[in-house]
């Protein structure tokens, strides 16, 4: 069994290794196997966060510790062809389903035609390969929150230019429309952590969403309780319903949007 570099697991899985030629035809045995691995999947740490900020670590734990033990290879998820072993595919899919956020899993599966383990993993990988809001503002730190560089202006200019180039690769052309939400974010020092959580949660469900200044402003107002339910867009509703310690600011209590769909699921269609 490969060593666990992060000490996140201490489970002996050697007796559960699935060989490629191990064919179990009975449905009840398949279900029993899947349930067994689903239970073990609950032990995967860390779980994949909704904003995908720990995707690389989660993926490494999944691949190094679990996939190598169960399937004997490290490139199982990276293969392009569909796994024709029904039992093995169910087991691998159960590992993913039980180690990520339920809303995130539903969002991924709802956008796939005949989803399978590899297509779900590749969708997650593609979704979180894009820059998060946290990564964007981290890159912008030296630009929008500079320290005194009076004695090192030449070096500072080089650093700022490199940061601007990196920022442009993340957000596109540095237009006023793209810069305003970043400027507004750095002006709200006490709210930055919650704003970042809100925006990255929304980007996880809808990666194509574009962040504008009014999004940052509206979320800041939600945090401070300066809103009425009719003012809320799907973006703010999504975050408000999935956050803790914020709903008490509402004069009417936690806002419940009508309908059976969760707001996180609704957002993926906007």
Structural domain ending residue among the three candidates 127, 152, 177: 127
User: Residue 180: in which H helix or E strand, if any?
Assistant: helix 176-187
What does DSSP assign to residue 250?
S
Structural domain ending residue among the three candidates 127, 149, 175: 127
d(CA 42, CA 107): 20
Q: Is 205 domain-assigned?
A: yes
Q: Which residues pair with 48 in a beta bridge?
A: 100
Instruction: Please give the pLDDT value at position 6.
Output: 40
Tens-level pLDDT at each residue, the chain (270 residues): 444 444 333 344 444 444 444 433 333 455 566 666 666 666 778 888 776 778 888 888 888 777 777 777 788 888 878 888 877 788 788 888 888 877 778 878 877 777 788 888 888 888 776 667 887 888 788 888 888 888 888 888 888 888 888 788 777 778 888 889 999 999 888 888 888 888 887 777 676 677 888 888 888 888 887 765 555 555 555 555 555 434 434 333 443 333 333 333 333 334
d(CA 124, CA 107): 10
Range of the domain at 74: 14-127
Q: Is 6 domain-assigned?
A: no
d(CA 70, CA 47): 19
Report how far Cα 225 is from the mean position of its chain's Cα atoms.
26
- Which residues have C-beta within 8 Å of that of residue 12, sequence separation ≥ 6? 1
Instruction: Please give the pLDDT value at position 244.
Output: 41
Asked if 86 contacts 30 with a C-beta cutoff of 8 angstroms, the reply is yes
Same-domain pairing of 181 and 256: yes
Asked if 91 contacts 37 with a C-beta cutoff of 8 angstroms, the reply is yes
What does DSSP assign to residue 261?
S
Q: Is 254 domain-assigned?
A: yes
Same-domain pairing of 160 and 101: no
Q: Is 196 domain-assigned?
A: yes
Q: Which residues pair with 100 in a beta bridge?
A: 48
Same-domain pairing of 188 and 250: yes
- Helices 234-242 and 213-224, axial angle in degrees (round to 10): 40
Structural domain ending residue among the three candidates 75, 96, 127: 127
> % helix / strand / coil in the chain, to the nearest 5?
60, 0, 40
DSSP-assigned letters across all residues of 73-128: -S-TTT-SSPP--HHHHHHHHHHHHTTB-HHHHHHHHHTSSS--HHHHHHHHHHHT
Same-domain pairing of 30 and 121: yes
Q: CA angle, 19 as apex, 28 and 92 as ends, to 5°?
A: 60
């Amino acid at each position: 069994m490969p060593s666990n570099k992060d000490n996140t697991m201490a489970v002996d899985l050697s007796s559960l290794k699935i060989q490629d030629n191990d064919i179990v035809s009975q449905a009840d045995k398949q279900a029993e196997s899947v349930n067994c691995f689903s239970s073990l999947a609950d032990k995967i740490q860390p779980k994949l966060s909704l904003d995908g900020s720990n995707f690389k670590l989660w993926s490494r734990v999944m691949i190094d510790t679990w996939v190598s033990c169960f399937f004997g290879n490290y490139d199982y998820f990276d293969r392009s062809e569909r796994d024709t072993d029904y039992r093995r595919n169910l087991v691998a899919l159960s590992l993913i389903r039980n180690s990520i956020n339920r809303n995130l899993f539903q969002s991924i599966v709802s956008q796939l035609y005949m989803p399978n383990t590899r297509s779900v993993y590749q969708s997650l990988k593609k979704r979180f390969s894009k820059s998060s809001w946290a990564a964007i503002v981290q890159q912008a730190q030296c630009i929008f929150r500079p320290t005194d560089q009076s004695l090192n202006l030449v070096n500072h200019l080089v650093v700022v230019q490199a940061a601007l180039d990196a920022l442009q690769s993340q957000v596109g052309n540095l237009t006023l429309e793209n810069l305003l939400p970043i400027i507004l974010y750095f002006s709200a020092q006490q709210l930055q952590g919650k704003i970042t959580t809100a925006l990255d949660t929304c980007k996880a469900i809808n990666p194509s969403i574009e962040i504008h200044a009014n999004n940052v402003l509206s979320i800041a107002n939600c945090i401070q309780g300066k809103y009425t339910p009719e003012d809320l867009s799907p973006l703010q509703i999504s975050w408000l319903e999935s956050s803790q310690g914020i709903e008490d600011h509402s004069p009417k209590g936690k806002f419940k949007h009508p309908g059976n769909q969760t707001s996180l699921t609704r957002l993926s269609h906007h």
